[in-house]
Amino acid sequence: MGSTTPGWLALPEDEFEERYRPPRGFTSGYLHRVLVRALGPAVNAAPSDEALKRKPLVLDLTSPLPPRLRFYLYAATQHQSERQPGTFKIQLSVGVTRDGKPAPPRAKRRWFDRTDNIRPIAIGYHPDWNLFILWDADLHDLNGGFGSSKNVQTPPEIVWSALAKDISHGSRRLHGGLTETIVAARPHRLVEALSLRIDLSNESMCEGLF
DNA sequence: CCGATATAGTACCTACGTGG
DNA sequence: CCACGTAGGTACTATATCGG
């Protein structure tokens, strides 16, 4: 795997965009490639073409990041019709069943795949603004899993802040008094954002639940 | 050419918080 | 203590893209 050096990984930004970015709608292949490019040297082995198409994307990473993470990457969208203007959201449409990980044909309830103790990362990417948003995946499937296409939202303030400062984080209140921390960052600060994300997740796990 | 799957977008419903 | 208003979350539906 490590011997593979895909051409798209080395392409200049604009050329990559021109060649790989779909005109309308965003494919997993494109989004995953953007992710890998953003992580750069932090990625140990470039995933195969097959892996790039498949939904969650498992990447081998270098220190100080965990050796492996499982990315649930979605295109982040923004609606003016939303209650709170500027709110970003992603819809979780992929998951596994409670116990194992057989593909869910039409499973009512789904969870993130935690096989091999690989931490799931719920991440959204906004193609127009080149911004990554990282949610707390653990927190979302602790509520007995999530429905068919669960929406996960982000307060605009975190996004604005990230656009201004390249990286930012904030928290939002969930029902039940839980607090979810969200990290947003531009691609070149994504590695930092990931570290921060994991740090915050560990914190909330300690203080909130047990 | 047909079918399947994923993404985008909108609407509705419920919970939480604040004010009277 | 009750009522009203706002925000968050869930679900459904439509459209587009990809694969067979």
Task: Give the residue extent of every domain in chain A.
Answer: 2-206
Comparing C-alpha atoms, which of A71, A77, A83 is closest to residue A43? A71
pLDDT value of position A2: 47
Name beta bridge partners: A162: none
Q: Which nucleotide is nearest to A26 (CA to C1')?
A: B7
- Whether any strand C atom is under 7 angstroms from the Cβ of A161: the reply reads no
- Whether any strand C atom is under 7 angstroms from the Cβ of A147: the reply reads yes
- For residue A193, give the DSSP letter: H
pLDDT value of position A147: 57
CB atoms within 10 A of CB A21: 14
- What is the per-residue pLDDT across A129-174, written as a single tens digit (0 to 9) for each? 778 888 777 766 665 556 555 667 777 677 777 778 888 877 666 5
Q: Are A170 and A99 in contact (CB under 8 A)?
A: no
CA distance to A67, A110, A139, A140, per residue, from A178 (Å): 29, 20, 9, 11
pLDDT value of position A68: 84
Question: CA–C1' distance A77–B10 (Å)?
Answer: 13
Q: Are A133 and A159 in contact (CB under 8 A)?
A: yes
The residue ranges of chain A whose pLDDT is under 50 are: 2-3, 81, 83, 102-106, 208-210
- Whether any strand C atom is under 7 angstroms from the Cβ of A115: the reply reads no
CB atoms within 10 A of CB A15: 11
pLDDT value of position A204: 59
Q: Are A75 and A90 in contact (CB under 8 A)?
A: yes
pLDDT value of position A105: 47
* Environment class of A152 (CB within 10 Å of its CB; exposed 0-12, middle 13-18, buried 19+): buried
Nucleotides of B under 7 A from a protein CB: 6-12, 15-17
- Whether any strand C atom is under 7 angstroms from the Cβ of A171: the reply reads no
C-alpha atoms less than 13 angstroms from C-alpha of A51 in its C-beta half-sphere: 13
Q: Are A139 and A178 in contact (CB under 8 A)?
A: yes
Nucleotides of C under 7 A from a protein CB: 7-13, 16-19
Closest residue by Cα to the C1' atom of nucleotide B16?
A175
- Whether any strand C atom is under 7 angstroms from the Cβ of A155: the reply reads yes
Check residues 24 to 43 of chain A and report those whose beta carbon is under 7 Å from nucleic acid strand B: 25-28
H or E element in which residue A76 lies: none
Tokens linked to A31: 């989004």
Question: CA–C1' distance A27–B3 (Å)?
Answer: 19
CA distance to A42, A123, A152, A192, A194, per residue, from A197 (Å): 15, 10, 16, 8, 5
Question: CA–C1' distance A28–B4 (Å)?
Answer: 16
Phi first, then psi, for residue A90 (nearest 5°) are -125, 160
